[in-house]
Amino acid sequence: MSRIPLWVKAVGGVGFYAAAAILIKEKLAGPPFDANVELGGKVAIVTGANSGIGYEVAKELAARGAKVYLACRDKDKCAAAREDIYLATDNKNIFCRYCDLSSLDSVKRFARRIHKDEEKVDLLVNNAGVMWGPREVTSDGFETQLGVNHLGHFFLTNLLIDSLKKGAPSRIVNVASTAHFKGKINTQDLNSSNDYSESGAYNQSKLANVLFTRELAKRLDGTDVTVNAVHPGLVDTNIVRNTGTFTTALMLFLRPFVWPFIKNSNQGAQSVLHVALHPDLQHTTGQYFNLREIAEPSKDALNDKLALWLWLTSEKWTKLRETCKELNVQPLTHPWESVSSISAPDSKLKSNTINLDAVNQVSSSSLRGNSMAS
C-alpha cells in the first residue's frame, strides 16, 4: 500500500484549515450592506477615516456618491487614504480635514471650517478611537481614552449640530462597543486621576458613547436628526497598536487561531453602514445596535440621570457653551435643565440630591484634582 508522504499530508492539512477558516469567516461576517441607497448631494463626515472601520465606511459612502470629509489627526495617512478611496471609487469629492480629537482647539477649527464650506451635513460617523494605552492626557488635560473616544466626539457633534439640523433628515452614528457592558462611569474620578486601568478607561469611554447617544437623542427630539450607537463586532484593525508589548505579542500569537472568528475591516464596517444608511432606520433614534440589530445596552447605559450628569460634566469640561457662542451655534438643551435639581446618578456622590450648580462643582473639583485649567 502506497504511503502518503508527510509533506503532502501537512500541505493538505494547512489547505483544509485555510479553506474552512475562510468559509467560517465569511459566514460569521454576514452579507455586505447592499440596500439601494444613493448618496449624490449628501455630505458625510467620518472621524478616524484613514484606518480600519472608518476607512471602509468612508470608502463605501464615496462609492455611493457622497461628498466625504475624512476627519483625521495624521495628514499623511489621511492623504494616502483619500488617494486610495479616490482610485477605488472615482469620486473626486473626498476631502482630508485635520481633526485631532485629543485637542478641543483642533476640533473647534475643524467645525469652523465645515461651517464655512458646507451649508449642511447629512451624516456624521463618530468612529475614531483609541484603546488600552498607558495613561496619557490630551492637550486639554483629559485622560486620553475618555478625551478622544467620548469628549472629542461630544464636542464635535455639538458644534456641528446646526449643520446636521439643516441636513435633516440626517443621522449621527456613534461607534461604541460591547466593552461598554463592563464600563462604569466613575463620577468621583471621571478623569481616572487617582486610579487608572487601561481597560477600565476604555470601557468607561465606550459606556459614555452609549449614554451620550441616548441623551443626545432626547435633545434632538423633533428635529429629524437621529443618533444611534453601534457595536461593529470583533474586528481585525490597528486598534490594538497602543496596547503594551505583552498584549500585542499575545494577540500576534493567537491571531491564526482566532482569525476565522474575527471580521476584517470591511466586514466590520457593514453594521456601521447599516445604521448610517438603512432606509428602514430613518426614524430610529437613541438606540444601541449590536451589529445590525437593536439590542438592550447595559443597565448603566439606561440610567437617564447618569446620562444627564455625563452630559453636563462634558459640557462643562469642554466649555461647550462658550464655544457655541463663539461659533454661533445654538446649544442643545434638555427639558430637565429647566428644573432646579436632579438626583445624583449614584450613591457615590456625597448627597442624594444635587442641583445643577452642584453638578458643575463636582466637575470643577474633578478638574482641579487633575490640575487642568479651569
Ligand X SMILES: NC(=O)c1ccc[n+]([C@@H]2O[C@H](COP(=O)([O-])OP(=O)(O)OC[C@H]3O[C@@H](n4cnc5c(N)ncnc54)[C@H](OP(=O)(O)O)[C@@H]3O)[C@@H](O)[C@H]2O)c1
The contact set with ligand X (CB under 6 A) reads: 47-48, 50-54, 72-74, 77, 99-102, 127-131, 148, 175, 177, 231-232, 234-235, 237-239
> Is residue 294 classed as helix, strand or coil in its secondary structure?
strand
Rounded Cα distance between 193 and 41, Å, is: 45
Residue 351 beta carbon to ligand X: minimum distance, rounded to whole angstroms: 34
Nearer to ligand X, 54 or 345 (CB): 54
Rounded Cα distance between 296 and 304, Å, is: 14
Residue 264 beta carbon to ligand X: minimum distance, rounded to whole angstroms: 10
202 in active site:
yes
Strand positions, DSSP E, 187-281 = 225-231
Residue 111 beta carbon to ligand X: minimum distance, rounded to whole angstroms: 14
Nearer to ligand X, 10 or 295 (CB): 295
Q: Which amino acid is at 108?
A: K
In the structure grid, which three cell numbers stand for residue 133, read together? 494605552
Nearer to ligand X, 145 or 312 (CB): 145
Q: Are the beta carbons of 301 and 210 closer than 8 angstroms?
A: yes
In Å, how far are 39, 85, 114, 181, 222 from 65, measured between CA atoms? 5, 12, 19, 36, 28
Nearer to ligand X, 140 or 354 (CB): 140
Residue 46 beta carbon to ligand X: minimum distance, rounded to whole angstroms: 9
Among 55, 69, 202, 288, which one carries the catalytic annotation?
202
Strand positions, DSSP E, 153-217 = 170-175
Give the number of other CB atoms < 10 A from CB of residue 277: 23
Residue nearest to ligand X (CB): 52
> Is residue 32 classed as helix, strand or coil in its secondary structure?
coil
Nearer to ligand X, 107 or 161 (CB): 107
Q: Given CA atoms 117, 120, 125, 126 in this order, what sign does their dihedral have?
A: positive
Residue 238 beta carbon to ligand X: minimum distance, rounded to whole angstroms: 4
Q: What is the DSSP string of 40-72?
A: TT-EEEEETTTSHHHHHHHHHHHHTT-EEEEEE
Beta strands 225-231 and 94-98 are unpaired
Active-site residue numbers? 202
